[in-house]
Amino acid sequence: MRRRSTSLKVLALTGFAFLYLPILTMVVLSFNESRLVTVWSGFSPKWYGELLHDDQILGAAMISLKIAFISASLAVVLGTLAGFALSRFPKFRGKVALTGMVSAPLVMPEVITGLALLLLFVAMESLLGWPKGRGVVTLIISHVTFCMAYVAVVVQSRLADMDGVIEEAALDLGARPWRVFVDITLPMIAPALVSGWLLSFTVSFDDLVISAFVSGPGYSTLPMVIFSKVRLGVSPEVNALATMMIVVVGIGVVLFTWNAARLHRMRQREERAAAAGL
């Protein structure tokens, strides 16, 4: 297999270059002194300074961070309940409906989800008087709805990988279902909860289309501000902002991968030690 892999390697590395070339260009251009973004005139970090004094961007970033934090946390709770019910309850009323609905937001075109949620909020406001207007509440409800799908999928696959033997043993020994869940299930699915939260946070922080539909005047999230800036043309500040976001995400992914690899090696060592002990 190894011999013929040269052509495969070339094709694959071309694919990776395709993925990274635009990102790398953007990072380099963020240090360009010229306002004409794509004409190089010298190295300068000045756009980062300007970025830190741009109140519009900073304000929008704060709104986005707040909404992403709350949405991701609520989505982890709801998504874990959904994932747990789907993989651990043999049957319950509405299982088919939950199975279908929990993954549907992942593939639903965003323009449809956004429009549908906005029309719902408008109808609810005129019928029930809640939610009043559109802003933080409507943004959070919408983000939770599509983020919980990610959490449910991650939790469900994690639970499917573990058999329920330990949980059953605890139940047999008289532990109540709630205690079994808190003491056994939760610690075992903790990694899935962490990745579900991170995924939800990122997806919520990045969302443009659904947010544009459901937010009201005065509540512009960061992607909405970037979108309106980009529509007017490329701007060196956006390059700087993008670079900062890529660096943060990059560090996160590297740490996560490194940690996963470390745990993997640790488990392998333990397994070898256990095998040697036998």
Q: Which is nearer to other proteins, 233 or 277 (CB)?
A: 233
Interacting residue with other proteins among 260, 269, 271, 272 (CB under 8 A): 260
Interacting residue with other proteins among 34, 41, 56, 257 (CB under 8 A): 257
Binding mask 125-164 for other proteins (x = CB under 8 A): -x--------------xx-xx--x---x------------
Contact between 194 and other proteins per CB under 8 A: no
Name residues contacting other proteins, limited to 55-74 (CB under 8 A): none
Q: Which is nearer to other proteins, 12 or 194 (CB)?
A: 12
Contact between 107 and other proteins per CB under 8 A: yes
Contact between 174 and other proteins per CB under 8 A: yes
How would DSSP label each residue in the chain?
--TTHHHHHHHHHHHHHHHHHHHHHHHHHTTB-SSSTTS---B--HHHHHHHT-HHHHHHHHHHHHHHHHHHHHHHHHHHHHHHHHHH-S--TTHHHHHHHHHHHHHS-HHHHHHHHHHHHHHHHHHH--S-SSSHHHHHHHHHHHHHHHHHHHHHHHHHHS-THHHHHHHHTT--HHHHIIIIIHHHHHHHHHHHHHHHHHHHHH--HHHHHH--TT---HHHHHHHHHHT---HHHHHHHHHHHHHHHHHHHHHHHHHHHHHHHHHHHHHHHHHH-
Q: Which is nearer to other proteins, 52 or 261 (CB)?
A: 261
Contact between 186 and other proteins per CB under 8 A: no
Name residues contacting other proteins, limited to 81-100 (CB under 8 A): 81-82, 84-85, 89-95, 97-98, 100
| Minimum separation from the CB atom of position 169 to other proteins (A) | 8
Binding mask 207-246 for other proteins (x = CB under 8 A): -xx--xx---------x--xx--xx--x---xx-xx--xx
